[in-house]
Amino acid sequence: MAAISLRNVVKRYGNDKNALQVIHGVSADIADREFIVIVGPSGCGKSTLLRMVAGLEEISGGEIAIGGRVVNEVEPAKRDIAMVFQNYALYPHMSVYDNMAYGLKIKKMPVAEIKTRVDKAAAILELGQLLDRKPRQLSGGQRQRVAMGRAIVRQPQVFLFDEPLSNLDAKLRAQTRIEIQKLHRELGITSLFVTHDQVEAMTLAQRMIVMNAGRMEQFGTPEEVYHTPATTFVASFIGSPPMNLLKNAPGGRAGALTGIRPEHLDIGNDGWEVRVDTVELLGAERLVYGQLAGEPLIVRTEEGQTPPAPDAVIHVRPREGRLHYFDAGTGQRLAA
């Protein structure tokens, strides 16, 4: 088990004046046994940051420490980490058992110890009945569990997950998220998990790093990130549908954008006047899309409320204490 420390970590490609910098001074302290999700859109630098922790990418500046040991110059194999990739990376000619045991055999570990570790990991991941099968005989979800099992048997200080659920369908992703949560509770190994899926981030993370264009926009618990976003980027990226960001909200502040989550707007007899464009029915909830003084606005309503008709004019009122304000120029959060 080990804590991870990132100190002003920088990554650039090239050394001249035209060098491309893709990671801009990321700093974070990750506690021992903590599960951290790095989330952001494609191209934001989240996988690059993970690969620098793994040692698969050299860092251009700053410091990375694992378990109190600076690893800037340490080879990946000596960092005591295990990585789970998006594409599983299983050996097709090997059985499930041999795939999980291969890394231990390379280290010349005793056969009995290898079997003990593989059997324990297989029990945790419910792979006991599949140990003799080849990867081609497995479903996508089973292959991903084998990849996780291969990481578990190494008993590393740190797990690194690089978008491991991206190749699974929606139902299987949900099931595998539950399995990963159980796995972390049982093993308690410090983990970094990269994803572009904010649902995965919100459901898995104890704390989350929100990345944008190579910068860390916010580092906090899912509740902190959702309820007190540090920037307009975080407000618009985290949440489905995203936070409404309004330039001309009634009663708004000069030079500030007004933010309000769709579920924090109530339809009533008075308040902001909104013209309805359309209504989406999503099972137990409905999303009302409309226009407030020419700006788009989304209102989330619960099942049982009669949805308004398109082109209807409705009134909505923000709940007390639920308005957010952001500097219109920098996008930074302002005091309430």
Numbered ranges of CATH 3.40.50.300 in the chain: 4-232
pLDDT of residue 87: 80
Confidence band, pLDDT 50/70/90 cuts, at residue 15: confident
User: What does the pLDDT average to over 80-86?
Assistant: 88
- Determine contact, residues 126/144, Cβ cutoff 8 Å: no
325, 259 Cβ separation under 8 angstroms: yes
The predicted model gives 56-67 an average pLDDT of 95
Residue 294, number of CB atoms within 10 A of its CB: 8
Residues 237 and 210 sit within 8 Å (Cβ to Cβ):
yes
**Higher-confidence position of 237 and 15:** 237
Task: Kindly report, residue by residue over 139-157, the tens digit of the pLDDT.
Answer: 888 888 898 899 889 889 9
| CA 218 – CA 232 distance, rounded (Å) | 11
E strand segments, the chain: 4-13, 20-30, 35-39, 61-66, 69-70, 81-84, 158-162, 190-195, 207-212, 215-220, 244-246, 256-260, 265-268, 272-282, 285-292, 295-302, 313-318, 324-327, 333-334
For 260-313, write each residue's pLDDT tens digit.
999 999 999 999 999 999 999 888 889 999 999 999 999 999 877 888 899 999
Average pLDDT, the chain: 92
Claim: this prediction has a pTM higher than 0.85:
yes
Predicted confidence at residue 137, as pLDDT, reads 93
Radius of gyration of the chain (CA): 24
Rounded average pLDDT over 45-55: 96
| Model confidence at 234: pLDDT above 70 | yes
**In the structure, what pLDDT confidence band is assigned to residue 86 with cuts at 50, 70 and 90?**
confident
- pLDDT classification of 94: cutoffs 50, 70, 90: very high
Tens of pLDDT, residue by residue over 236-264, are 999 989 999 999 999 888 989 999 999 99
Hey, which CATH number is domain 241-334, 2.40.40.20, 3.10.450.230, 2.40.50.140, 3.30.460.10?
A: 2.40.50.140
With bands split at pLDDT 50, 70 and 90, how would you rate the model's confidence at 54?
very high
Q: What percent of the chain stands above pLDDT 70?
A: 100
Per-residue pLDDT at 85: 84
What pLDDT score was predicted for residue 264?
96
Class for the domain spanning 4-232:
alpha beta
Nearest to 318 by CA among 330, 336, 334: 336
Q: How far is Cα 146 from Cα 61, in angstroms, rounded to an integer? A: 35
Would you say residue 88 has pLDDT above 80?
no
Predicted local confidence at residue 259, as pLDDT: 97
**DSSP-assigned letter for residue 309:** P
Residue 105 pLDDT more than 80? yes
pLDDT at 148: 87
Q: Which residues contact 178 (CB under 8 A, 6 or more apart)?
A: none
Q: Which pLDDT band holds residue 168 (cuts at 50, 70, 90)?
A: confident
Write the DSSP assignment of 223-275 as a string of letters: HHHHHS-SBHHHHHHSSSSPPEEESS-TTPPTTEEEEE-GGGEEEESSSEEEE
Confidence at 1, pLDDT banded by 50, 70, 90: low
Residue matched to tokens 């292959």: 143
209-230 pLDDT, tens digit per residue, is 999 999 999 999 999 999 999 9
Looking at the chain, which residues constitute the CATH 2.40.50.140 domain(s)? 241-334
